[in-house]
Structure 1
Amino acid sequence: MEHADLLVIGAGQSGLATTALAPRHGFARPLVLESAEAPGGAWPSYYDSLTLFSPARYSSLPGMRFPGEPDRYPTRDEVVGYLREYARRLPADIRTSAPITSVTRQDGVWEVRTAGGGEFTARAVVAATGDYGSPYVPELPGRVEYGGRVLHAAEYRGPETFAGQRVVVVGGGNSAIQIAAELGALAQVSLAVRRPVGWMPQRPLGRDLHWWLKHTRLDVAPIRRLLEKVPVSVIDDGRYRGALQEHGVEERAMFTRFTADGVVWGDGTKETLDAVVLATGYRRAFPYLTGSGALDGDGLPLHRGGIATTAPGLGFVGMEFQRSFSSKTLRGVGRDAAHVLARLRRQYA
């Protein structure tokens, strides 16, 4: 077995930020295991037109500025390129194509195994696989009857294959709006939501929303329980709302069930559909920690601020509202990584 003082699971934004900060906290050369063929986490698998809602100046990881004009909104491919260059510069051992199968603790040491037969031990482990590895597909009545195309936003790439079709996008968040807006140019689209879409201006009073979050310190405020109850709002400078209106994308209350060739809306109207896109988000999942004692009965981490409360030497980075509003964002993972690393080091001081 190979040994490392610190083993980081995942080479997405959370894992890379953790790896970059590790030497400052006494972990000289961390070992990083990534399931994909290259660093970048979930970013390479997002739809082609994805654009950040945070400007480049607020989209950097520790120690490396996001390139280009700071007030522009980077694209998916720019983020992927940035993360891979960031990984290339790190003084760390990053191993790709190494999906984790188990993480267990024996005699005070973590034992980590990969699908390819790799075996590692570590004094400390950071699970940095984030919230985007497990697409959430809700159970919808009649789904098995429906003969049309149903896909999650994680499988959606672009609008071309939907040209001329009747499509419903399920969801009311940023991704649902972006997808519906671009589909509307080529297809007949409706947005199915459980509550009306809330809109948040991108630049209130002439300043980007992220500037306000930073300067009011709401971005880092420890108000997780309050923020979890805030309804989802779509950040927009007017382009997406305008596109929905221009293309006639209607917002409708969620349909009640599927039929063999479509759906039934709340008023009893049946409609034939060609496709349904589920922009229903993701669910936190750490299957490799099953049996480690670090998860509750629902498979969710038992933690406080990213430090496991039932498994010494284990930390988490990249979870939504882990410590603040920005915990799972490019701009927020560095703060949480520093917090977790400092506390893991104290456990071995």
Structure 2
Amino acid sequence: MSVPDTQVVVVGGGQAGLAAGYYLRRQGLDFVILDAQATPGGAWQHTWNSLHLFSPAAYSALPGRLMPPQVGEEYPDAEHVVSYLRDYEKRYDLPIERPVRVAGVHRDGELLRVQTDSGTWRAQAVISATGTWWRPFLPAVPGRAAFGGEQLHTVEYRNPGDFAGRRVIVVGGGNSGAQIAADLAYDTELTWATQRPPRFLADDIDGRALFDAATARRRALDAGRTDTGGVASLGDIVAVPPVREARDAGLLKASPMFVRLDRDGVVWADGTRAPADVVIWCTGFRPTLSHLAPLGLRGPRGHIPTADTRALAEPRLHLLGYGDWTGPASATLIGVGRPARDAAREIAGLLRA
């Protein structure tokens, strides 16, 4: 089935796709947002139950509409974010088609052809805003296939009640690892394994400071100045209240990363063993870009080389929301607005040239 041609197709209806839609509308462009999810909210509707933002609501907004505060919570939870995103797309009457799964984006003469399970769109430009949640990364640790217990990734974890009384290994020293370890610290026999000692940010630092640090780093690099280090210079883990409480109670004590698994648990380099029933891999994600494979644009580390959000080898394609390589803090609610605005402006300039 073919549908009418449009100026811009946005692939992904999460926070990055909505920010793109907001600015495409302001540019007066004709566009459609294709979302694989059946309901609004993007990846936020699939996170673990206790997940909270790193910043207060006032500093976690998409362009044009502040996120209202959540009663009784300084840092809103995922359910509140989903409600906000649902309201946002309704308020701006964004043209979203769902559920629509994009199979591939192809060159088609002067247009790009977007093939999906619900038909084919042709557009003058495409914004890819699919994020990373749908492509969890599992490290190649020896013995992983031999482990006789349960293994899951961050994307599959929901709540500590599922693991009460069990011996759990949480792997990963980032925010998800720390938050899930804190979640499990009270009711499980917990081992938290990290590649290096955890680096907690100062307790008064939250997403506002992280956004400022990421922006300052990008500006320094663009100006040819010394790399400021960005967020990494501050630490790895935001001490949100649940993490802070578990840490201060002495329940978040990290062990070095083990070197292998066996049937019964994990083994460290000195031969020390820890029996385990469950291993939870909080080991990050990779960008979800398989739909762009027909364009042949992949570069080092699986990234597509870009100038800001624009693909260097395909000026009709922009990538939004995948992290600093597509705009400072662009994988965050507060950070995605600026690169979305710039992408919409650049597309409008291209189409009107």
* Runs (5+) with no aligned partner, structure 1: none
Matching residue of 1:160: 161
Q: Which residue of the other structure, out of 232, 236, 242, is the alignment partner of 1:233?
A: 236
Write out aligned runs for 1:198-213 (5 A).
198-203=199-204, 210=208
Contact 1:219 1:326 in 2 (8 A): no
Does residue 111 in structure 1 map to residue 113 in structure 2? Answer: yes
Contact 1:5 1:124 in 2 (8 A): yes
Structure 1 residues 211 and 146: alpha-carbon distance in aligned structure 2, compared to 1, 3 A threshold: closer
Write out aligned runs for 1:17-32 (5 A).
17-27=19-29, 29-32=30-33
Structure 1 residues 61 and 238: alpha-carbon distance in aligned structure 2, compared to 1, 3 A threshold: closer
- What secondary structure sits across from 1:345 in the alignment? helix
Deviation at 1:289, TM superposition (A): 0.7
Q: TM-score, normalised by structure 2?
A: 0.90
Contact 2:9 2:34 in 1 (8 A): yes
Deviation at 1:85, TM superposition (A): 1.0
Q: Deviations over 1:297-346 (max 9, x none)?
A: 75421211010111121111102103554221100111000111111222
Matching residue of 2:219: 221
Does residue 340 in structure 1 map to residue 343 in structure 2? Answer: yes
- What secondary structure sits across from 2:200 in the alignment? strand
Aligned-partner Cα distance in 1 for 2:242–2:296: 47
Does residue 288 in structure 1 map to residue 291 in structure 2? Answer: yes
Write out aligned runs for 1:247-326 (5 A).
248-296=251-299, 299-322=302-325, 324-326=327-329
Instruction: Give the counterpart letter for 2:339 in structure 1.
Output: D
Matching residue of 1:64: 65
Q: Percent identity?
A: 34
Matching residue of 1:45: 46
Aligned-partner Cα distance in 2 for 1:216–1:229: 9
Q: TM-score, normalised by structure 1?
A: 0.91
Instruction: Give the counterpart letter for 2:349 in structure 1.
Output: R
- Higher alpha-carbon deviation: 188-197 or 213-222: 213-222
Contact 1:285 1:300 in 2 (8 A): no
Deviation at 1:20, TM superposition (A): 0.8
Aligned-partner Cα distance in 2 for 1:44–1:113: 26
Aligned-partner Cα distance in 2 for 1:57–1:291: 40
Contact 1:18 1:337 in 2 (8 A): yes
Structure 1 residues 222 and 316: alpha-carbon distance in aligned structure 2, compared to 1, 3 A threshold: farther
* Runs (5+) with no aligned partner, structure 2: none
- What secondary structure sits across from 1:235 in the alignment? coil
Aligned-partner Cα distance in 1 for 2:141–2:234: 22
Contact 1:32 1:94 in 2 (8 A): yes
Matching residue of 1:136: 137
Deviation at 1:210, TM superposition (A): 1.2
Contact 1:293 1:310 in 2 (8 A): no
Structure 1 residues 276 and 67: alpha-carbon distance in aligned structure 2, compared to 1, 3 A threshold: same
Contact 1:220 1:326 in 2 (8 A): no
Deviation at 1:30, TM superposition (A): 1.6
- What secondary structure sits across from 1:154 in the alignment? helix
Over aligned residue pairs, what C-alpha RMSD do you find? 2.4
